[in-house]
Amino acid sequence: GDSVTQMEGPVTLSEEAFLTINCTYTATGYPSLFWYVQYPGEGLQLLLKATKADDKGSNKGFEATYRKETTSFHLEKGSVQVSDSAVYFCALSNARDDKIIFGKGTRLHILP
């Protein structure tokens, strides 16, 4: 079945460091891919998405490119801030049934 695998955390970085959180997926067809973020004490929020191969989603300095050849959707940010500390979830949704499948989440800690 469809699945999402993302790197385990926690990831700890210093402020202004470069961030990469890896995400790979297994799916039939052409799923839509998402990154969600959960800040402490809050519910999930959509961070960015891409709906077809080679699309790049971007928001708040984060970006991820839909790579069908490597079935990946890695999240990147050039210079992280303390306020980026959160849990990040990679997810896919297959047009076949719209069910959304999440990765297990990666906790990110940014040190000042």
Partner 1 sequence: GAVVSQHPSRVICKSGTSVKIECRSLDFQATTMFWYRQFPKKSLMLMATSNEGSKATYEQGVEKDKFLINHASLTLSTLTVTSAHPEDSSFYICSACELAGYETQYFGPGTRLLVL
Tokens of 81: 């801030």
| 79-98 residues near partner 1, rule: CB under 8 A | 87, 91, 93, 95, 98
Question: Does residue 99 belong to the site contacting partner 1 (CB under 8 A)?
Answer: yes
Tell me whether the omega of the peptide bond preceding residue 31 falls within 30 degrees of 0, making it cis: no
Question: Does residue 1 belong to the site contacting partner 1 (CB under 8 A)?
Answer: no
| 7-66 residues near partner 1, rule: CB under 8 A | 32, 34, 36, 38, 40-46, 49
Q: 50 or 80: whose CB is closer to partner 1?
A: 50
Task: Residue 37: name the closest of 29, 48, 27 by CA.
Answer: 48
Q: 13 or 100: whose CB is closer to partner 1?
A: 100
Give φ, ψ of 83 to 5 degrees. -70, -10
Task: Residue 83: name the closest of 39, 46, 43, 41 by CA.
Answer: 39
Q: How far apart are CA 91 and CA 101, in angstroms?
A: 5
Q: Which positions touch partner 1 (CB under 8 A)? A: 32, 34, 36, 38, 40-46, 49, 87, 91, 93, 95, 98-100, 102, 105, 107
